Structure 1
Amino acid sequence: MSEDSFLHHACAHSDTSDSGTDSAAEPADPFQDSRLPRPEVPGLPSRGQLTLVLSAHHLLVSLGLYTVMPVLVLVLSQQATGAAGPGLFCYTASAGLGALLVSRWLSRRRYLPTMIAGTVLAATGFGLLPYADGSVTALVLLFAAGSGMSVHSLLSRVLVAETVADDIGRQRLYSTLMIAINIAASIGPFLAMATYREGDARLLFSVTAGCYLLAGASLLCGVSPVLRMPGGTTRWPISRTTLNKSLREATARATVVATLVGTFLYAQLSSALVLLLADEIASGAMRAALFAAPAVGVVVLQSPATTVMAHLMGRGVPSFVFVSVASLGFGGAMLVLGSGMPSAPAIVIAIALFTLAEPFFHSTVSTAFAGLSIGSRLEVFNLRQVCWTVGEALGTLCGGTLFLLLHRNGQGHIYWLTLGISAMISVPPLMTGLRKQPHRQGHGDHA
């Protein structure tokens, strides 16, 4: 695969064979632990420019996503009997893992045209969905939309990791993107109400497709057309070497486990907790307010939470610790729901705990993985996608099946207590023996 001779990345990775293992050791970063500035890299945007462009991009992408999600299950159920469940699963799986299917192709591709292609693919999938003439066609379109989202999501995270050299800078940028995403999440449901007509979703999906197309166009304002993805270290999305290192290296292992636990618990917010709300909260306005609370909370709390995390990371606290603390917050919400107190106050307190914990979770997962030096950045973020999707998929599966079974038999509290106790047992050991490390500015930083 050819590469422009003048283009270099801030992070260089060794060439490899197709065996799935590194053929040479990764060269040391000569600017690591040095007061000397890194040389300018052709095509790299400034941090301010990148923040502005990616914030607008994620705002538009998320506006399209959170406009369609509140009514997607209704549209699918109306198109074909029994299509809602498989359709949602198909979209969720492809949105999480779709990029891994083309990981080898993504290696060293240019960010700008590839990210635009991802948004165009998502726009096409969602835009044509109202015209699907059967469940199979709908599944194909949902797979296309999810895969486009997966490519856009992966490349935007890798772009930040490659462009911003230090963990604190990455955390600030990822946190800013989370604010933009949650602003869209607060607006999307109202836009859905304004554009959706029962039995006719064409206007809604046209608006959704338009948001994705505008999101792709926004990248033209600041992402250089010469910037490329880093090269992978293997023909596979994640090499055996990287997998082995993620199990042996303490920080990597803690990051993987904390992410799996946290995403499993957070998935209850969109599965088991939805079912509980439908049974226990009669007021539609109250249910809507409770659903919107976490998104509004992130918009309000993300900046101060990031300030706290940046200060502590500057003092040597690894970023996976914040992922672990957020997971404990989610676990605390589970314990409240299983405590036996009246349902309404238990739900309010649980969602409040979710809201307080979330600013320390989503953006910090990306920061924690970006700081790992166990493989190429592409591989590391592929590993992040796997961990996130496995935790989320299993969480929604359990929340939508096991909880429902127990709840209908009057034993729902057992589900919540099991999850809460499991979190309290599994997460604290990840932080035991933690030793502060001096913060380092450079590619070699460990989160």
Structure 2
Amino acid sequence: MAADATTARSGSRGTIAAPVVVDFLLSGLGFYCLVPVLPTIIGILTRHPDPLLTGTALFAFTFAYKGGSLFCANTLQRLPVRVTTAGGLVVAGAGFLLLHGMTHPVGILASLVLAGLGVSANNISARVLVALTQAESTARNTAFAHIQVAINVAAAVGPLAANLVLGDHPRVLLPVIAGIFVLTAVLMFALVPRGLRPSDSATRRPLGLRVVADMVRDPRVRTVSLLTLVGSVMYGQFFSAFAIHVTHVTDSPAVRGAYYTVNAVVIVAGQVVVTRLTNRALGRGHAPWAVIRVGIAVFGLSFLLLALPGASIALTFLAVGVFATAEMVFSPMVSTAYAQLGGDRPMVEVFNFRQVSATLGESLGGFAGGALFTTLFQHRLGWAYWAGAALLGLATTAAFHRREAAARQ
């Protein structure tokens, strides 16, 4: 099996990239048909919108799709990548189909957790495939940027389609999403090279939940993880607080969907240019975590725009464009930073570091956006929420700027 791994690593980039791009393109289409309208779907299922249930459901789903792989790390390490990518997609599809028939809060939460677990297993398996087959940081950053483009092509279509379908046929959306995930599973099982396992290049079994202790002890892992945590809290606002924010900006389903479509189109159009700039920064000796810091600062600027009085459609579109710029820097570089921490660590473990930080960050961000923002907005304090979120990002950026300056002296 070690020979197979070596062959795969030395194989053509296109051979490996093709199934990964297909995976994130199609599963991303299903995913982004759901997340922008998930708060609305929860209200439809229960018939009694509840800010606490909405926040809890967003937290549970985010925790599951970001951190579910922590609970099956050894299984993901042993099984072929072909099996774990396809299997995760099938589990996700089953969860979304079950959600379609749920009305009780417990059933809704359980279905979302099951679906999120499948998404998590698939996502980490696809990223491990890239890390196993690309040796250089710049090559990995480029590959992860290609993933980012594929995700955002899907994200350009998904929210608009979801808002239109939800307006006319709300009960149809979840079965369609489930079907997309199952179709993607069939394609992935056919396209991913057989025999390649994460364990082929590992010297030991990956840590599961114990990665948390290792994240605290290792200063390099701790730095990347803290930045990922803060950036993920900020990224998590886009499908929680922002999704609620736009319902108060416009009543048009088409315009609401267009905010997410514009975000995706900006990323698809600009990712190549941004990747060249970030690769140039890496080539000049900047650490990946230092580039992540730039993305966090730009997230903060987008939130400052949302905090301005007189929220208009045009101003919100401008904030979306700034947010997209931050995402182009932040998302690929996070994966690049963690992949660089490999060494003797199993790749599943390395990306579980990422999952822990992103899970905690996006889950907290989703809960805050679903519960705290709603409460503050009801008291006409929505601007204070966005100002506080911006302050979090800018303060973190300033703290790590001093650390980078000290490290380069």
Structure 2 length-normalised TM: 0.86
Mapped contact 1:90–1:139 kept (Cα < 8 A) = yes
Task: Provide Cα deviations, 1:343-386, integer angstroms capped at 9, x if missing partner.
Answer: 22543432221122211111211111111147332212111111
2:362 is the alignment partner of 1:392? yes
More helix by percentage: 2
Hey, what does 1:162 align to over in structure 2? 132
Unaligned runs of 5+ in 1: 10-39, 438-447
Number of residue pairs matched by the alignment: 399
Hey, what does 2:223 align to over in structure 1? 254
Bigger Cα Rg: 1
Using a 3 Å threshold, how does the CA distance of structure 1 residues 213 and 430 change in structure 2: closer, same or farther?
same
C-alpha RMSD of matched pairs (Å): 3.0
Hey, what does 1:306 align to over in structure 2? 275
Task: Provide Cα deviations, 1:253-312, integer angstroms capped at 9, x if missing partner.
Answer: 331122111111222222223333332445554433323221111111111111111222
Give the Cα separation in 1 of the matches to 2:256 and 2:351. 35
Task: Quote the sequence identity (%).
Answer: 29
The one of 181, 184, 208 equivalent to 1:236 is 208
Task: Provide Cα deviations, 1:217-258, integer angstroms capped at 9, x if missing partner.
Answer: 222454221111134545534447632443x23xx3331122
Give the Cα separation in 1 of the matches to 2:158 and 2:268. 14
Hey, what does 1:342 align to over in structure 2? 310
Pairing 1:373-412 to 2, within 5 Å after superposition: 373=342, 375-412=345-382
Hey, what does 1:320 align to over in structure 2? 289
Q: Secondary structure at the match of 2:192?
A: coil
2:83 is the alignment partner of 1:117? no
Pairing 1:213-224 to 2, within 5 Å after superposition: 213-224=182-193
The range that moved more, 311-320 or 294-303, is: 311-320
Give the Cα separation in 2 of the matches to 1:136 and 1:429. 41
Q: How far off its partner does 1:74 sit?
A: 4.1
Q: Which has the higher contact order (CA 8 A, sep 6+)?
A: 2
The one of 392, 398, 404 equivalent to 1:428 is 398
Q: How far off its partner does 1:324 sit?
A: 0.8
Q: Secondary structure at the match of 1:185?
A: helix
Letter in 2 for 1:48: G
Give the Cα separation in 2 of the matches to 1:155 and 1:257. 23
The one of 123, 146, 162 equivalent to 1:192 is 162
Using a 3 Å threshold, how does the CA distance of structure 1 residues 68 and 423 change in structure 2: closer, same or farther?
closer
The one of 367, 371, 376 equivalent to 2:336 is 367
Hey, what does 1:60 align to over in structure 2? 26
The range that moved more, 185-194 or 359-368, is: 185-194
Hey, what does 2:266 align to over in structure 1? 297
Using a 3 Å threshold, how does the CA distance of structure 1 residues 348 and 221 change in structure 2: closer, same or farther?
same
Task: Provide Cα deviations, 1:409-439, integer angstroms capped at 9, x if missing partner.
Answer: 33333333333233222223323353799xx
Structure 1 length-normalised TM: 0.80
Letter in 2 for 1:182: N
Give the Cα separation in 2 of the matches to 1:351 and 1:197. 23
Hey, what does 1:413 align to over in structure 2? 383
Give the Cα separation in 1 of the matches to 2:189 and 2:406. 41
Give the Cα separation in 1 of the matches to 2:115 and 2:389. 32
Mapped contact 1:238–1:379 kept (Cα < 8 A) = no
The one of 312, 316, 320 equivalent to 1:351 is 320
Give the Cα separation in 2 of the matches to 1:154 and 1:171. 16
Q: How far off its partner does 1:82 sit?
A: 5.7
Letter in 2 for 1:65: F
Q: How far off its partner does 1:88 sit?
A: 3.8
Letter in 1 for 2:336: T
Unaligned runs of 5+ in 2: none
Give the Cα separation in 2 of the matches to 1:410 and 1:435. 40
Q: How far off its partner does 1:193 sit?
A: 5.4
Hey, what does 2:180 align to over in structure 1? 211
The one of 78, 91, 98 equivalent to 2:44 is 78
Mapped contact 2:155–2:264 kept (Cα < 8 A) = yes
Give the Cα separation in 2 of the matches to 1:88 and 1:342. 28
Give the Cα separation in 2 of the matches to 1:417 and 1:195. 33
Using a 3 Å threshold, how does the CA distance of structure 1 residues 314 and 238 change in structure 2: closer, same or farther?
farther
